[in-house]
Amino acid sequence: MTRIAVAKGDGIGPEIMQAVLSIFDAANVPLQYEYVDMGKWVFDKGYSNGMTPEAQQTIESLGILFKGPMETPKGKGVKSVNVTARKTWNTYANNRTFQTLHGVDTVFSKAGIPVDITVVRENIEDTYGGIEHMLTHDVALSRRFITRPGSLQVIRYAFEMAKKKGTKRITCGHKANIMKITDGLFLECFYEVAKDYPELKADDVIVDDLCMKLVTRPDLFDVVILTNLQGDIVSDLCAGLVGGLGFAPSANIGDHISIFEAVHGTAPDIAGKNIANPTALLLSGFAMLRHLGLMKSAATIENALLYTLEQGIRTGDFGDRNKPALNTTEFAQAIISNFGKQPQHNPRPMLEDMPVTPTVFKLDKNPMLESKDNEVEIIRGVDLFLESNEQHNVVAEKCLKHTGPLFKLVTISNRGTQVWPKGSVFTNLVNQYTCRFESVSEMAVTQTDILELQKRIATEFKICSTELLNMWGDKKAYSLAQGQ
């Protein structure tokens, strides 16, 4: 008997969780449930991370969390409990599989175009760090972190998963044509890992082109790997290809802790009415069972679900409106009554259960992820983010008075577009400039040199933020302004 942590969720969460667990129990799935307190009502009791300390301790000791949809209170300055849980426990890979379900009509099912796409989304980094600042009263900044170790971690997971799944193609979606350093690093890591999997066709596509192709020819794609924000958007797009979020499972995989959840909303308008569709949570449950090595249980229940859908049995949110809709409990009972039956389309094979090696959960210290750096690192200068509502030529005149013998003012940009030493009068400005200072001799400068420069510039401007201009070997580790 395997113990797992269960969080029922908010809104319709308790109803759909009860339905899914009743199906598991009817199938004699060898699980023992430890219920934990998470969600909106926990926020309301004053726990800023949306979970009680006891819940966190239980989840960290068991390593598996099965959770319903959860609501984060609006306007209270607290972080999403869903994102907090994924990041706290380093569930670095979000795995969401989108497949045609016969009985769930879509544009593609009606056209006879099968959909079977797995989206792997990096789950920890990117703008989801939530590191934001107001630089001026008009200018907000969000910091986007893409790391080499984090990228390698999730990309290697995606390749391993694709190999085990038996797919032929794995595609990296990105925006490296614009975000040349951040998305460029992710894409570089993708092809670095691809060298170890010659049996897989590895290619890449710009994310906007990917979205267009997904809604015209989704059958061309197998496994798609993306950064966090882009993966969030693309995975919901893919949910629309197979009937919506009500048919979209989600698994968040980490080395020590994994979370399986429904990613649709809490639907407070129908909460307590026993009419919600539990399919998404049930599909997530299949991923959990297979993660735990319970292959027979997963196949038995999934075949029953597929057979049930093929028979036109439905809840009120989908299916043939000429057929009566079942409530949540009745839909679960219909699936239970179909145990042992085989669907006509894509029956799941009855594989043998697999022993799963327990993960060691007691860690003495936080794991440090760091790749090997063989290049010589030097600092070539600094970008100073300055607040000013003056024209760029006035900003330049003031900066040039304080460059000293070590620095030269190379460029001034506004919202990423160069406005000095050349630019266009048609470029609209906001009250925050980025002034780039590089070393006169193109040799290294020290942080102390930069601090002295900042002290001088600070006599003229409020310095909102700074970024060092690093170089590794002969490679610049910073981008140019538009038009530079």
| DSSP-derived 3-state class of residue 258 | strand
What are 329-341's pLDDT values in tens digits?
Answer: 999 999 999 999 9
Same domain (yes/no): 451, 360: no
Does the residue 423 lie in any domain?
yes
Does the residue 261 lie in any domain?
no
Output Rg (C-alpha) for the chain, integer angstroms: 26
Average pLDDT of 26-53? Answer: 91
- Indicate which CATH number applies to the domain containing 405: 3.30.70.1570
pLDDT at 122: 97
Looking at the predicted structure, is the pLDDT value of residue 70 above 70? Answer: yes
460 C-beta neighbours (distance < 10 Å), count: 15
Same domain (yes/no): 8, 107: no
Separation in Å, CA 21 to CA 3, 6, 11, 329, 336: 13, 10, 17, 11, 11
Looking at the predicted structure, is the pLDDT value of residue 360 above 60? Answer: no
pLDDT at 82: 86
Please check whether residue 16 is in contact with residue 278, taking contact to mean a CB–CB distance below 8 angstroms.
yes
pLDDT at 80: 81
Same domain (yes/no): 393, 331: no
Looking at the predicted structure, is the pLDDT value of residue 358 above 70? Answer: no
pTM of the model: 0.92
What tokens were used for 260? Answer: 């399986």
- Indicate which CATH number applies to the domain containing 317: 3.40.718.10
pLDDT bin (cut points 50, 70, 90) of residue 46 is: confident
Average pLDDT of 4-23? Answer: 97
Same domain (yes/no): 176, 229: yes
Does the residue 482 lie in any domain?
no
Q: Which helix (H) or strand (E) holds 472?
A: strand 462-472
Average pLDDT of 301-326? Answer: 94
Same domain (yes/no): 271, 248: no
Q: For the chain, how many structural domains are there in total? A: 3
CA distance 303 to 336: 11
Same domain (yes/no): 216, 228: yes
Domain of 59 in residue numbering reads as 1-91+267-372
Does the residue 258 lie in any domain?
no
Same domain (yes/no): 240, 275: no
pLDDT at 442: 79
Separation in Å, CA 15 to CA 32, 330, 439: 19, 12, 64
Nearest to 134 by CA among 399, 383, 385, 428: 385
Same domain (yes/no): 193, 226: yes
Judged by average pLDDT, the poorest of 164-178, 193-207, 332-346, 359-373 is 359-373
Judged by average pLDDT, the poorest of 78-92, 208-222, 305-319, 439-453 is 78-92
Does the residue 483 lie in any domain?
no
